[in-house]
Amino acid sequence: MKHKKDKEHENNPFAEGTAEPQGVEQPQETAQEAENKLQQDFDQLNNQYLRLAADFDNFRKRQAQERESLLKYGAEESLKKLIEVLDNFDRAKQAIANVEDVNQVKDSFDLLYNQLFDNLSKLGLEVINAQGQEFDPNFHEAVMQTPTNEHPENHVIMELQKGYKLGEKVLRPTLVNVATGE
């Protein structure tokens, strides 16, 4: 049987003459291991951050280059189509130099106009129809108002200059004369 004094020493880590309990070094090792694990996690996250920052920087530079290229060469297809029209203007200019028939000049002009308009239509250009339509300030610009009973009020009597749009975007509004009540 153990004495009462032995039992006190057994439970009291500060009692004299007692050996250090095993495992005192374990918390220091565990703290060191935890610190190492945290350092590894930090290094891993820091590397991921640096890679992500580099990827984003590369993405930003690539986007800037693509945007610059688009601005520089975006009109290339449009210009190629218009060069064909320019070639036909040159041919027409040479052809009418010795022509005395006005109808032949008119036919050449109509051909060139149609070719130019077809090429622009393929690029998305649309004419804004205004004649007889109700006045719409989004598509029309009223430069004249004429009092009349022959046309409904606030309707376009006459187009003075054609308007054009690209998709839903108005490039130039149609200049119109609008009917007003007498």
| Count of beta carbons in the 10 Å neighbourhood of residue 175 | 17
Give the pLDDT confidence of 79-106 residue by residue, as tens digits. Answer: 777 777 878 887 877 777 777 888 888 8
Same domain, 66 and 96: no
Structure tokens at 77: 């297809």
Instruction: Indicate the residue among 123, 138, 156 that finishes a domain.
Output: 123
Question: Residues 130, 117: one domain?
Answer: no
Domain extent, residue 159, equals 126-182
130 and 100 in one domain?
Answer: no
pLDDT at 14: 58
With 0.85 as the threshold, say if the pTM is over it.
no
What is the number of structural domains in the chain? Answer: 3
For residue 15, the model assigns a pLDDT of 55
- pLDDT greater than 60 at residue 46: yes
Query: pLDDT by residue (tens digit) across 106-162?
Result: 888 888 888 888 888 888 889 999 999 999 999 999 999 999 888 899 999 999 999
Q: Kindly state whether residues 116 and 130 are assigned to the same domain.
A: no
Q: Is 48 a member of any domain?
A: yes
With respect to residue 16, please indicate whether it lies within any of the assigned structural domains.
no
Closest CA to 153 of 172, 178, 123: 178
Give a yes or no: residue 42 inside a domain: yes
Tell me the Ramachandran region of residue 132: left when phi exceeds 0, alpha when psi lies from -120 to 50, beta otherwise: left
Sheet of 125-128, strands arranged across:
125-128, 163-166, 169-172
